[in-house]
Amino acid sequence: MKKLFIESTANSPKVNFDPENNVYEISGESRPPNVPVFYGQLIEWIKDFSGNISRKPGNSGMVEFNLDFNYFNSSSAKYILDFCKLVSAVRSGNDGIKIRWHYESDDPDMLEVGKEMERMAKMPFEFIRKDRGSSNPML
């Protein structure tokens, strides 16, 4: 399985999908100029990932997709939801896959959006509250 790494910019989030080190993260702001192209890479990666996971019998390793957005626009929201739905489909064959939705303690809107994504993706998320200015998330 290939690693996918995209450095963050002022308009697009950092993406680090590294199966070798068991790191799966999207973080930062998401308002890339061409949302379908940006998220198309992630969608193709998760489709490829699902094929690799399903071919590994007894794969018991935990896979946690950490979604840690400061902001995303409505165009990005559609693709983030599509990504979460694909993770949910992969999860149906492997309970060791989860989504961890990070949000700032003073940003109830981001928490609500995460809960709505959880409902629409039809899979439970783990919600990770972060105190602003702290690098340590609080549950």
* pLDDT exceeds cutoff 90 at 128: yes
* pLDDT exceeds cutoff 60 at 134: no
* pLDDT exceeds cutoff 60 at 91: yes
Nearest-CA neighbor of 102 among 6, 8, 3, 25? 25
CATH number for the domain whose boundaries are 4-32+49-54+61-138: 3.30.750
CB 69 within 8 A of CB 27: yes
* pLDDT exceeds cutoff 50 at 55: no
Strand 97-104, strand 63-72: pairing: parallel
Which residue type sits at 18? D
* pLDDT exceeds cutoff 90 at 94: no
Q: What's the predicted TM-score (pTM) here?
A: 0.88
- pLDDT tens profile 59-72: 456 899 999 999 99
Q: How far apart are CA 12 and CA 17, in angstroms?
A: 15
How do the domains of the chain map onto residue ranges? 4-32+49-54+61-138
- In the predicted model, what is the mean pLDDT of the chain? 89
